[in-house]
Amino acid sequence: MKTLFAFIVAITLSGCASKSEPYDYTEYKNSDPRSVLVVPPINNSSEVIAPYSVLSNVAKPLSESGYYVFPVSLVDETFKSNGLTVAQDIHAVPTQKLHEIFGADAGLYIDIKEYGTSYVVISSDTVVQVDAKLVDLKTGTLLWQGSARAASSEQRSNSGGGLVGALVSAALHQILETATDAGFNVSTLATQRLLSADMYNGILHGPRSPKYGQPVKL
């Protein structure tokens, strides 16, 4: 019995130790942003559609977390009308300039690390990984940064069928997920994990949320 108890304690302590340290929200709380400008994402994947897919999914979790989000399509058109069509160039624009143009309190800068469907022997998976940072546009101060990843395999059960069945299943999943852009649905999950204020070490609840000002979830 003592051995079993010691094992349970060890597992519990191990789980606690692996949890990352609570994020320091000092600058975030001092800034207290109410509106967010989503800057066009930098795409480090091989999929051209990735920025559009991710961009179309970020407004919902931000809004649900209590922030006013500048319409992403209008923001994108504003940059294009001013000759800025490359995400890297837009990310290099001084934050104070963005605040002057849009009047937003904070800017959300997104970096797409992975997006797309891959096929490896007996498995096929659509993966989306995104990093982001929230910056005070008036001062350029970093308020928060985080990362999230999601995969289509998370909601897929093992149907059996042995090696042949696995090979066929993987091939079918790759064809279907590539043809239907499964990355869009996966990016919905990834951005929700990244930008929901209910996530550990995530963004804080904004002023439009009933949970605004409540203690950070630990």
- pLDDT value for 172: 54
Residues 3 and 6: their CA atoms lie apart, in Å, by 5
- pLDDT value for 11: 37
Fold of 22-195: Rossmann fold (3.40.50)
Q: Are strands 106-120 and 68-69 parallel, antiparallel or unpaired?
A: unpaired
- pLDDT value for 217: 65
Q: Is the dihedral of CA 34, 194, 188, 127 positive or negative?
A: positive
C-alpha dist (Å) from residue 163 to 117, 153, 177, 179 = 21, 18, 21, 24
Per-residue tens of pLDDT for the chain, all 218 residues: 444 334 333 434 444 445 679 999 999 999 999 999 999 999 999 999 999 999 999 999 999 999 999 999 999 999 999 999 999 999 999 999 999 999 999 999 999 999 987 765 545 678 999 999 999 999 999 999 999 999 987 765 544 444 444 455 555 545 554 444 678 889 999 999 999 999 999 999 999 999 998 877 66
Decide if 131 contacts 115 (C-beta within 8 A).
no
Give the tokens for residue 212. Answer: 């605004």
Strands across the sheet containing 68-69: 68-69, 35-43, 106-120, 123-136, 142-151
